[in-house]
Amino acid sequence: MRRTFSHRERDEGGLTAVIEFLSAFTLFLMILTAFLSLAQLQMGSNDPNVDRLDRAASLGLDRLTSGEGWFVPDADGLDYANATAEWHLAAADALHEGRVQPGLVLNQRLDMDRVEALHNVTEDGMAAGLGLDGDMSLHLTIVVAESTQQGRASTVLFEGGTERGTAPSSSTSYRSFQQDGELIRVILEVHDGGRKNNVLHITEVMARPSSSGPEWIEIENPNDFAVALKGWSLNHTSGSSSSNLLLQSGVLSGQSLSLFTGDVSSQTVGNATHVIDLGSLGFLGVGQLDGLANGQGKLSLRYTQLDEITPADVMRVEWGGNTQLFMVTGQSLVWDGEDRFASESWALEDSPTPGEHNG
């Protein structure tokens, strides 16, 4: 007997075949994707390393902008019993020695006291607190994008960290806050590696103090992030003699002036944020005791990268000799803010201003 098939039967058979094929193909893609993920391979535009940066940037921003943050002080080990959300009240040294996760939000608003307190946090301290891997770096920007106040739009409230161009790949996350008639944007960039290039400036030097006062060196941290002094050093040469001081501890707050002095008790400090004693270490003198040469000398500020052994000069100042900079008692040397190595960028100052911005 001959059987005939209706159009309906043929349509249902074809639809079943298509469904079975699509199901099998979907299962194949799922298995292939799982295999590539486990093998850390990439298919198409999906790069596991980029995905890792994306997750780090997103999670880091969430930690930064979802609460008040916290601080665990150091007391011969992390003192969890005295942990506090008031991290913004701690000094830069304490934050560096303990463990801090900066949080910028209080009562669902961006807290300006906490934003200002970011100047006491080092970039490494923030990266650790936000849970970034050790091979990652970051750059943070907080900017007023829009404002009803005249001249406030585009005001940068904070900007610091590793530059994006020094890393092979980066990921960015941002969050906006609408408050007090302003739109404020918090932008977190996370980099794959990158070279930290924080710079400190010597801004004024007193080598011939009057009235038996101390020698002193004024140093500015122009970065928004705090800078830990470990790895930094000072070198002084005069003729054939040389002295070198490797700084082992201490933190300079962001946007601060600090005084390194031969005698803390007699030092005029002005508005200096930090006053650091180098007299006890024999590098700077007081009264008749000279650490810096009166007639001719050279002072260098150096930094050694963690993966290097040779320090590099970050800034240098020379006096006497061919520099035409011959100090008399009570005069200081003042930097003009231009070239960090040229003698022409330095001038004699009859009225020194320790702890005050020049000009």
What pLDDT, on the 0 to 100 scale, is given for residue 22? 77
pLDDT number for residue 5: 46
Which token pair is 322? 């061919």
CB-based contacts of 187: which residues, under 8 Å, 6+ apart? Answer: 140, 141, 142, 143, 172, 173, 174
Provide the domain limits for residue 106: 48-192
For residue 201, the tally of other CB atoms under 10 A from its CB is 16
C-alpha pair distances (Å), 348 with each of 140, 207, 277, 296: 38, 12, 24, 14
What is the structure's pLDDT at 137? Answer: 94
Say whether both 217 and 334 belong to one domain.
yes
| Same domain as 104, residue 235 | no
15 falls within a domain: no
141 and 237 inside one domain = no
Neighbours of 115 (CB within 10 A): 17
The pLDDT value given to residue 43: 47
pLDDT of residue 165: 86
* Same domain assignment for residues 172 and 90: yes
Sequence-separated (6 or more) residues with CB below 8 Å from residue 263: 213, 214, 277, 279, 286
Would residue 11 count as lying in a domain?
A: no
> Are residues 124 and 181 located together in one domain of the fold?
yes
179's enclosing H/E stretch is strand 170-179
* Domain termination residue (choose one: 192, 223, 250): 192
Per-residue pLDDT of the chain (359 residues; tens, 9 = 90+): 455 545 555 556 666 776 777 787 788 887 877 665 655 544 444 556 778 999 999 999 999 999 999 999 999 899 999 999 999 999 999 999 999 999 999 999 999 999 999 999 999 999 999 999 989 999 999 999 999 999 999 999 999 999 988 888 999 999 999 999 999 999 999 999 887 777 999 999 999 999 889 999 999 999 999 999 999 999 999 988 899 999 989 999 999 999 999 999 999 999 999 999 999 999 999 988 899 999 999 999 999 876 667 888 999 999 999 999 999 999 999 999 999 999 999 999 999 999 999 86
Nearest Cα to 188, choosing from 315, 85, 54?
54
Among 166, 192, 218, identify where a domain stops.
192
The domain boundary residue, chosen from 162, 192, 222: 192
> How many domains does the chain contain in total?
2
* Model confidence, pTM: 0.83
Same domain, 188 and 52: yes
Contact 321, 327 (CB under 8 A): no
For residue 265, give the amino acid letter: S
